[in-house]
A and B are shown apart, each in its own frame.
Chain A
Amino acid sequence: MTMTAAHMRSTVSRRGFLAASAATAGAFSLGFHIPFAQAQGADVPEINAWVVIKPDETVVIRIARSEMGQGTLTGLAQLVAEELECDWSKVTTEYPTPGQNLARQRVWRNFSTGGSRGIRESHDYVRRGGAAAREMLIRAAAEDWKVAPGECRAASGTITHGASGRSTTYGKVAAAAAKLEPPAEVALKDPKDWKIAGKPVQRLDTADKLTGKQVYGVDLKLPGMLNAAIKACPVFGGKVKSFDAAAVQSMPGVKKVVPVGDNAVAVVADTWWRAKVALDALPIVWDEGAHAKASSADTAAMLKEGLTAEQAFVANQTGDVKAALAGAAKRIEAVYGYPHQNHATMEPMNATAKWTADRCEVWTPTQNGESALAATAEASGLPAAKCEVYKIHLGGGFGRRGMTDWIRQVVAIAKEMPGTPVKLIWSREEDMTQGKYHPVTQCRLVGGLDASGNLTGLHMRISGQSILAGVLPQNLQNGRDPVTFQGLNPPGPEASLGYTVPNLLIDHAMRNPHVPPGFWRGVNLNQNAIYLECFMDELAHATGQDPLAFRRKLMVNSPKHLAVLNAAAERAGWDKPAPAGVHRGLAQIMGFGSYVAAVAEVSVSPKGQLKIHRIVAATDPGHAVNPQQIAAQVEGSFVYGLSAALYGECTVKDGRIEQENFDTYQVLRMDEMPKVETVLVPSGGFWGGVGEPTIAVAAPAVLNAIFAATGKRIRTLPLKHHDLSKA
């Protein structure tokens, strides 16, 4: 909090201050009242930044994070509503805009929606927002009745005074409550007393998704709007050398051909289809730059060199791994690899912008409204205060929409057409070839075992791409990328290794190819879980031990990891034989604040046909806010994780990505989708994410089950390149 309440009161009107003022000391900054043009008129009382209550009892809960299918809109609303004690059936939601957040000194704090952080990083202050609003509503009723607030109770949007039998509703006292000072302190409920949070309530955003009414970014219509299609140099790092606008200028609907930055050209037309037809006909000459001949084989060779390079960043080190491996009774070594992947959101990247010399507005599906606003300001040449971003429901995000590249493009195009809104939609081909790809890495693992089969030494050398080096180089720590080691960190609350190995070394030789990396749902947990958990399986089998028993011995110091692994194993019936012809594999990992494990049951026909029959997935997210949506996230995680494991691969030839559409970038479809049993074991006391961690155990559990079925150890993905038939 940067201003005192007294100072604020002297500088703004009492109504304006009180309506917008902070809910709890220290939890909110103060700000000015800004009417919500989209949904709320100025006369609708804002109790605080998070809660607006209308006279008809409608409760509008403000959601700062972006909804992209993961259910955060509903989950965050449940947390606010729980403390607010409102009627859940009256709840609706709205997004505050990034511009409003800026003007109100970030009263809604962080808008960033990635890393499964939506709930786990904001549960405390959104609940306090709900609790503070409840206290103000009770106090408004109590003052009206001239009784002590402590004698009144609120439940389901109704306030009652037991002694006198009086009651009123939130809608009736909201206007008075909005004028009150927020309480200095509020107490939060014990989660065991939750009535709305923690329950499998239905999503708030389903109805319009069933009728075509839901407006996505691609659907936006503004008066006078034109449409743009764009093509950037297919070779990363390349530029536009020239293009022949005259060749397409007279094609139907074409309004303008504009260069965008130094590497792309856009055609603006009356409709998007006509823009795309003209763009496809537009002669463009590229300067393909330094990477014109780059290939996946080049990258693989570069990474291979890193597997044994002298220099590496160390993440986790105990004992003397060199000596332990040298003196081991048995030494096992393996090299794994994981390819580039595209996010492939169903809705391609898009945004609409309107630029004038005095203002720039952008409408876009974004995972980070604040960075979208910053990008808008930068690209428009205007200060952020003269810019605004309107967030739209995302047709998938998976990390891709945390970036801002398409926003910079649309603003650059709109600047060429002052006053005219322009909607830019990427074609699927553009989306596939201009991605921010899951990083490519390889990993060399060496394990040392004593004569009794105990793991005495483990060296994991990761070689490959750093996301931070490509996306947020300012976050590197003396050149080291800490995100590379997700799931492999020393003991702690985030992404820690669940195994205690007396002599351990986990390090990273950073090797960055020219393909731009990005945060891809599950991030580095994906490949690290494969490397670690498949190698654990190798070690167990090499010494004739049960993979579960082998792991348990190493997990005595990691009770939460172990409990989740045990929960998955128990539900799957690990200690009982699988059905005839069916084989099991398991995996566990910790990341995004949660503990996850999975058991996969597969069969492989003599001809090598894989069938995944059943997945049992256990999750300990600490607190579970909406169990049915957690189940949806866990099921969806297997689709994402298994799509990658079975098919996902973006290869490079002549400097460009070869896979241009879903016909060559295959993903899992319904006929391959296994049954998923979600085992939720929330142990309380912490808040973990659920959108991502489970993805990481999908592939290793299945790969380990494939080994059990075939004796074939798959160390490189995707699986489609491997022959699983009996030799």
Chain B
Amino acid sequence: MPRLNINGRDVDIAVEDDTPLLWAIREQVGLTGTKYGCGVAACGACTVHVDGVATRACAVPVSAIAPGQKIVTIEGLSPDGSHPVQKAWAALDVPQCGYCQAGMIMAAAALLAAKPKPTEDEIHAEMTNICRCGTYNRVRAAINLAAEGGEPRRG
């Protein structure tokens, strides 16, 4: 039975080994903030952090997660929506429908943890998530706002 460390908590889950991490998180752990969008790692709606690295959970089987690897989902990014990325998102009223936003926020948080002052090209290279409502310009502005906040941040 795989054991996952999610948001600081060890959880034993009863699934087949090839079950995508996304569905283990959603259906076994019961955290539904991480979204299904495509199942082929094309859209980024399922982005979580695995040891701090932005990872598209729909294309990673739970068997690929090594014991001790730490997974963080949108629910674990901050206890109360106070992560600098979440605050910047709130300040600029970024989401429209909001479905892709958990993935966007997780990707942005990982980017800023690695590169606290990203260039536009670095933002574009990392932020390949799809948003159909079209929030891209506010997402970019919010990443810059969070970066201007100056503090190094951890996913």
Interface residues of A (CB under 8 A from B): 68-71, 202-203, 205-207, 209-216, 218-219, 221, 227, 252, 271-274, 277, 344-348, 393-398, 425, 427-428, 628-629, 632, 635-640, 643, 661-663, 667-671, 673, 675-676
Contact of A670 among B27, B31, B139 (CB under 8 A): B139
Given A209-B101, A396-B97, A635-B137, A273:B23 Cβ within 8 A: yes
Is residue B30 within 8 Å, beta carbon to beta carbon, of the partner chain? yes
Complex: A681 Cα to B131 Cα, angstroms: 27
Q: Is the CB of A211 within 8 A of B39?
A: no
- Would you give 8 A-B contacts (Cβ < 8 Å), ordered by A? A68-B97, A211-B33, A212-B33, A273-B27, A636-B135, A661-B38, A661-B42, A673-B140
Within 8 A of A (CB), among B102-126: 102, 105, 123-125
Q: Is the CB of B136 within 8 A of A670?
A: yes
Distance between Cα atoms of A629 and B128 in the complex (Å): 24
Give CA–CA (A640, B98) in the complex, Å.
16
Contact B40 A661 (CB under 8 A): yes
What residues on B are CB-neighbors of A277 within 8 Å? 16
Could you give, for residues 130-143 of chain B, a 1 whenever the CB lies within 8 Å of some chain A CB and a 0 otherwise?
11111111111000
Contact B95 A206 (CB under 8 A): yes
**At the interface with chain A, which of B63-71, B73-81, B146-154?**
B73-81
Chain B residues lying within 8 Å of A637, measured Cβ to Cβ, are 134
Q: Is the CB of A671 within 8 A of B81?
A: no
| Residue pair A69, B93 in contact (C-beta under 8 Å) | no
Q: How far is the CA of A252 from the CA of B14 in the complex (A)?
A: 11
Contact A347 B99 (CB under 8 A): yes
With A206-B98, A394-B97 known, 5 other A-B pairs at CB within 8 A are: A70-B96, A212-B33, A396-B97, A640-B132, A667-B132
Give bound CA distance, A574 to B97, whole Å. Answer: 35
Contacts of A676 in B (CB 8 A): 137
The reply to whether B42 and A395 contact each other, CB–CB distance below 8 Å, is: no
| A68, A211, A632, A668 pick with most chain B CB within 10 angstroms | A211
User: Which residue of A has the minimal Cβ distance to B105?
Assistant: A210
**Are A346 and B35 in contact (CB-based, < 8 A)?**
yes
CB-CB under 8 A for A209 and B95, given A273-B27, A670-B127, A675-B137:
yes
Main SS of the interface on chain A?
loop
Contact A662 B33 (CB under 8 A): no
Contacts of B75 in A (CB 8 A): 211-212
Minimal Cβ-Cβ distance residue in A for B23: A273
Report whether A670 and B128 are in contact in the complex, using a CB–CB cutoff of 8 Å: yes
Q: A381 CA to B149 CA in the complex, in Å?
A: 58
- Chain B nearest CB: distance from A646 CB in Å? 13
In contact, A212 and B40 (Cβ under 8 angstroms): no
Q: Contact: A632 with B136, CB < 8 Å? A: no
Contact B96 A71 (CB under 8 A): yes
When distances are taken between beta carbons in the complex, the residues of chain A under 8 Å from B36 are: 218, 348, 425, 428
A210 touching B101, Cβ below 8 Å: yes
Give chain A residues whose Cβ lies under 8 Å from the Cβ of B81. Answer: 207, 210-211
| Docked-complex contact B38 and A210, CB < 8 angstroms | no
B45 in the interface (beta carbon within 8 A) = yes
Q: Are A635's CB and B23's CB within 8 A?
A: no
B90 on the A face (CB < 8 A): yes
B residues near A271, Cβ cutoff 8 Å? 23, 27-28
- Say which residue of B39, B80, B132, B139 sits within 8 Å of A427 (CB atoms): B39
Contact B134 A272 (CB under 8 A): no
Contact A346 B43 (CB under 8 A): yes
Smallest Cβ-Cβ distance to B20: which chain A residue? A273
* List of B residues within 8 angstroms of A629 by Cβ: 93
Closest chain B residue to A428, Cβ basis = B38
Least CB distance from A333 to B in Å reads 35
Q: Which 3 A-B pairs have the closest CB atoms?
A: A212-B33, A639-B134, A636-B134
Contacts of A205 on B, CB cut-off 8 Å? 98
Is the Cβ of B132 less than 8 Å from the Cβ of A398? yes
CB contact between A211 and one of B86, B131, B134 (< 8 Å): that residue: B86
A252 touches B34 (CB 8 A): no
Q: Is the CB of B99 within 8 A of A662?
A: no
Nearest-neighbour CB distance to chain B for A252, whole angstroms, equals: 6
Q: How far is the CB of B106 from chain A (nearest CB, A)?
A: 10
Do B43 and A662 have beta carbons less than 8 Å apart?
Answer: yes
| B residues near A675, Cβ cutoff 8 Å | 137
Q: With an 8 A cutoff between CB atoms, is B5 at the interface?
A: no
Min CB gap B80→A, angstroms: 8
- A114 to nearest B CB, angstroms? 15
Instruction: Determine whether B37 belongs to the interface, using a CB cutoff of 8 Å to chain A.
Output: yes
The answer to whether the Cβ of B100 comes within 8 Å of any Cβ in the partner chain is: yes
- Chain B neighbourhood of A207, CB < 8 A: 81, 90
> Which residue of chain B has the shortest Cβ distance to A348 in the bound complex?
B36
Interface centre among A209, A344, A628, A671 (most CB of B within 10 A): A209
User: Given A211-B81, A273-B20, A346–B130 Cβ distance below 8 Å?
Assistant: yes
Question: What residues on B are CB-neighbors of A215 within 8 Å?
Answer: 32
- A428 / chain B contacts, CB cutoff of 8 Å: 36-40
Q: List chain A residues, Cβ under 8 A from B28.
A: 271
A640:B134 contact, CB within 8 angstroms: yes
| A211/B137 in contact, CB under 8 A | no
Check B35 against A218 for contact (C-beta < 8 Å). yes
For the complex formed, measure the closest distance between the CB of B113 and the CB atoms of chain A, giving whole angstroms. 17
Q: Which residue of A lies closest to B101 (CB)?
A: A209
Question: Taking the nearest CB of chain B, how far is it from the CB of A71, in angstroms?
Answer: 7
| Docked pose: A207 CA to B102 CA in angstroms | 12
Contact B124 A212 (CB under 8 A): no
Q: Which chain B positions have C-beta within 8 A of A219?
A: 26, 32
Q: How far is the CB of B7 from chain A (nearest CB, A)?
A: 10
Tell me the minimal C-beta distance from A630 to chain B in angstroms. 12
Give chain A nearest CB distance to B147 CB in angstroms: 15
- Contact assessment for A272 and B97 in the assembled complex, using a CB-CB cutoff below 8 Å: no
Chain B residues with CB under 8 A of A397: 97
Q: Complex: how many Å from CA A235 to CA B107?
A: 38
User: Within 8 Å CB of B89, what residues of A?
Assistant: 206, 210
Say whether A662 contacts B90, CB under 8 Å: no
> Which chain B residues border A70 with CB–CB below 8 Å?
96
Check B132–A632 contact: CB distance below 8 A: no
A669 to B130, CA, bound (A): 6
A367 CA / B86 CA spacing, docked (Å): 28
Task: Give the Cβ gap from B96 to chain A, nearest Cβ, in Å.
Answer: 3
Given A396-B99, A428-B39, A635-B138, answer yes or no on A662-B130 (Cβ-Cβ < 8 Å).
Answer: yes
**Inter-subunit contact B131/A346 (CB<8 Å):** yes
Given contacts A210-B101, A211-B75, contact A345 B132 (CB under 8 A): yes
| Residues in A neighbouring B42, C-beta threshold 8 A | 661-663
Contact A671 B30 (CB under 8 A): no
For residue B74, give the distance in angstroms from its CB to the closest CB of chain A.
4
Complex interface: chain B residues within 8 A of A636 (CB): 96, 133-135
Do A221 and B30 contact each other (CB < 8 Å), given the known contacts A210-B81, A428-B37, A628-B93? yes
Least CB distance, A721 to chain B, in whole angstroms: 21
- List the A side residues contacting B34 at CB < 8 Å: 212
Instruction: Name the distance in Å between A271's Cβ and chain B's nearest Cβ.
Output: 4
* B138 lies within 8 A of A211 (CB): no
Q: Which residues of B contact A673 (CB under 8 A)?
A: 134, 136-137, 140
- Asked whether B131 lies within 8 Å of A639 as measured between CB atoms, the reply is yes
Task: State whether B132 touches A344 (Cβ < 8 A).
Answer: yes
Residue in chain A with minimal CB distance to B19: A273
Residue among A212, A348, A425, A663 making CB contact with B74, cutoff 8 Å: A212
Contact B27 A272 (CB under 8 A): yes
Report the separation of the CA atoms of residues A394 and B15 in the bound assembly, to the nearest whole angstrom: 29
**Across the interface, do A632 and B138 meet the contact criterion of CB distance under 8 Å?**
yes
Known: A210-B105, A662-B42. A393 touches B131 (CB 8 A): no
Query: CB distance B32 to A218 under 8 Å?
Result: yes
